[in-house]
Chains A and B, each alone.
Chain A
Amino acid sequence: MQIKGLKDGLLVTLGDAAWGILQEALLNRVEEQASFFQGARLVLDVGNQVLKSAELSALRDTLSEHGITLWAILSNSPTTESTAQILGLATRIHKAPPAEIRAAKGIDHESALWVARTLRSGVRIEYPGNVVIVGDVNPGAEVIASGSVVVWGRLRGVVHAGAQGDRDATVCALDLSPTQLRIAGEIAVAPARQGTPKPEVVHLKNGRLQAEPWTPG
């Protein structure tokens, strides 16, 4: 286990072992050096661990009983990242690098992050690729994707597709009434909807976001 001081907290990097053992080791350390950890803001790098929300929230509560605020989880697992995001924990501790550099790495256009739940206010999903949400995106929720975003439900929060500059990214929803929509660097606010909702697709055309009804075939 490594502990490193950051500008605004402590970064603890857990090694590779069973989660129970790592957690116990961390808590032992915290108890041994109680005064060092008292009041600390902790970033936990959990490497490849796949963690359930019960495990993360239990650890957060235990740490808070020792006066430690767990504010971010760094992980290589998309599952763990989205668990942490749903619990309201940060998953990145530095500002994102400039768009060009990230875009150059390329994103995988063939796959997507599958989110089978309604995103409620306060949830932020960030993903370097496409995102599919089966459920609603409520006002106050945000989806930031490097690729396209599909919402099989009502989109009423904020979506940013092509967040690293991909101008070919699209956003589709069964009911498109977002608080705000962004594709690459362009922003639009949805006009008040008239009539019954219908599926729509938004593309970037001539530098503007344009919504079109989805038509089969």
Chain B
Amino acid sequence: MTGKVLTITSGKGGVGKTTAVANLAVALAADGKKVVCIDGDIGLRNLDVVMGLENRIVYDLVDIVEGRCKTRQAMIRDKRLPDLFLIPAAQTRDKNAVSPSDMIRLCDELRQDLDWILIDSPAGIERGFRNAIAPADKVLIITNPEMSAVRDADRVVGLLEAEEKGSPSLVVNRLNPAMVKRGDMLSVDDVYDLLRIDVVGIVPEDENVIVASNKGIPLALEAKSRAGQAFRNIARRLNGEQVPFLELESQGLWDRLSRLAGRR
């Protein structure tokens, strides 16, 4: 088995990277894939909290890299999905405790018996970001429909192109269709217009995301949630399925979204 390494990054902080990693991991695992997610945010870990696994941490990423435990020992099995694992970040160290080549070695080991390795990148474009993208086969950029987030995403796309990592894919998170309709929020079209990269997902704004992350139960597990549905759709697209985009907005924009999907 050769697993794929998917790094989720954004440039700007607070756009929903960790939420996206947790939800995509859950959706992929619920689909029968063997998945591990790695929290790359050493020193500011929180993927464990969002996944509700904080109290099970014994070893972490830095322990693996520094040889204090076997990789298996640091992989925390999810409470609900037996094929989902988390490798948490160390909270008491900093980004320099891990190097890009450590990440490549670790991912090459994990590829042997997993389908997907998801890496939650820290915000920024410094060492932690480079650690997170070094082993990536594919990079997913999360952005919000606001200028500052899109600007940072553009910077990250430029860096990935310079590193010859190939063109990343885009997820537009926290879209509020009513605000777009009033002209108070960038539309997916506006975001695409600047970034010009493949759009693989559009996630509507949903206050249940906050409730879910406080509870440590990712929304993708809840059948009725729109945001959860959007993440499940992204997971299916990552597995190569053609899935239509959720109908979030008025007809006019829907047509344009369909065109966007057609451009891929």
Is the pair A53, B164 in contact by a Cβ cutoff of 8 Å? yes
Q: What 1/0 mask marks residues of chain A from 65 to 89 whose CB sits below 8 Å from any chain B CB?
A: 1010000000000000001001110
| Contact stretch, chosen from B82-90, B114-122, B151-159, B241-249 | B151-159
Is the pair A140, B100 in contact by a Cβ cutoff of 8 Å? no
B101 within 8 A of A: yes
B1 within 8 A of A: no
The one of A54, A61, A118, A122 that contacts B134, using a Cβ cutoff of 8 Å: A61
Interface of chain A: mostly helix, strand, loop or mixed: loop
Is the pair A138, B154 in contact by a Cβ cutoff of 8 Å? yes
For B100, list chain A residues within 8 Å (CB).
Answer: 61, 64-65
A120 within 8 A of B: yes
A123 within 8 A of B: yes
A57 to B164, CA, bound (A): 10
Number of B residues with CB within 8 Å of any CB on chain A? 21
Nearest CB of B to A50, in Å: 16
A200 to B99, CA, bound (A): 48
Nearest CB of A to B178, in Å: 25
Is the pair B163, A118 in contact by a Cβ cutoff of 8 Å? no
Number of A residues with CB within 8 Å of any CB on chain B? 21
A139 within 8 A of B: yes
Nearest CB of B to A160, in Å: 20
For B154, list chain A residues within 8 Å (CB).
Answer: 120-122, 138-140
Q: What 1/0 mask marks residues of chain B from 122 to 142 whose CB sits below 8 Å from any chain A CB?
A: 000101001000100000000
* B96, B101, B163 interface centre (most CB from chain A within 10 Å): B163
The one of B130, B164, B194 that contacts A61, using a Cβ cutoff of 8 Å: B130
B162 within 8 A of A: yes
Nearest CB of B to A170, in Å: 26
Is the pair A57, B194 in contact by a Cβ cutoff of 8 Å? no
For A64, list chain B residues within 8 Å (CB).
Answer: 99-100, 127, 130
Residues from 135 to 187 in B contacting A, C-beta threshold 8 Å: 151-152, 154-155, 157-159, 161-164
- In the assembled complex, 5 residue pairs joining A and B whose CB atoms fall closer than 8 Å, in A order, are A53-B162, A65-B101, A120-B161, A140-B151, A140-B154
Given A121-B154, A140-B151, 20 extra CB contacts under 8 A: A54-B163, A61-B99, A61-B100, A61-B130, A64-B100, A65-B100, A83-B162, A86-B158, A86-B162, A87-B162, A117-B161, A118-B196, A120-B154, A121-B151, A122-B154, A122-B158, A138-B194, A139-B154, A139-B194, A140-B155
